[in-house]
Copies of this chain bind each other. A is one copy, B any other.
């Protein structure tokens, strides 16, 4: 009653997963279509329930499918937001009284929820960059079309921003960069460090991420023209919701 005497070169669950993946990538199954469920696979291939689940879990962990309780497993879609890096910042958008974030959704409205502003002691890396552990922290979450897509944590040197609108929930027109300019600390140069990894549990919850979805982590440091760092901004993006764009000269 065990598997076939000669072990097939690839396990059954993988071959099933391969077939389903092929159907998805070839377009035979489209966005939102329903995949054959556990019972269907059991019947079709004569396998046990755990094996059918294993096949489906492959696609789920690859981010190609999403399970819905009591309903089925469905093909997942990819319709990203375009986030402009260098171009966006280099065309003076924030200088014209607009928040940077304006351009990022390219027409799609975004909302900010869960704004928190606190005075904290920064961890080592942040403290090293900002010249001390004494910081104000702005945490917020962005949503597009009602779905959370980004977590953002900004750190400012406490001595610089104390008593300014930067430590208020509403920073006023133009956002924190306009306020920094008024303080004589206008950001002039940016460094963005980008990596990708699987999300931590709290990120999975806050961004409502299905299995198989990586996050993109951007650490952005803003410097004045004199080279003084005035902000470190850690952004965690739902990788399935974003394309980053950087334009630059040779």
Contacts and interface: CB of A to CB of B under 8 A. Distances in A.
B194 A63 contact: no
A246 B85 contact: yes
Nearest to A244: B194
Contacts of A90: 248-250
B247 A190 contact: yes
A197 B239 contact: yes
A196 interface: yes
A25 B85 CA distance: 30
A86 B246 contact: yes
Contacts of A61: 61, 198, 211
Contacts of A244: 193-195
A87 to B, nearest CB: 9
Copies in the complex: 2
A37 interface: no
Nearest to A220: B246
A188 B248 CA distance: 9
A235 to B, nearest CB: 13
Interface string A60-96: 0111100000000000001010000110011010110
Nearest to A189: B249
Interface string A208-222: 000110111000000
A195 B246 contact: no
Contacts of A50: 50
A184 to B, nearest CB: 15
B201 A21 contact: yes
Contact of A248 (B18, B89, B195, B216): B89
A111 interface: no
A207 interface: no
A23 interface: no
B193 A243 contact: yes
A104 interface: no
A63 B198 contact: yes
A151 to B, nearest CB: 16
A132 B160 CA distance: 54
Given A189-B247, A196-B239, A214-B214, 7 more contacts: A61-B211, A62-B198, A188-B250, A189-B249, A191-B247, A193-B244, A246-B246
5 contacts: A62-B200, A63-B197, A194-B245, A196-B196, A196-B214
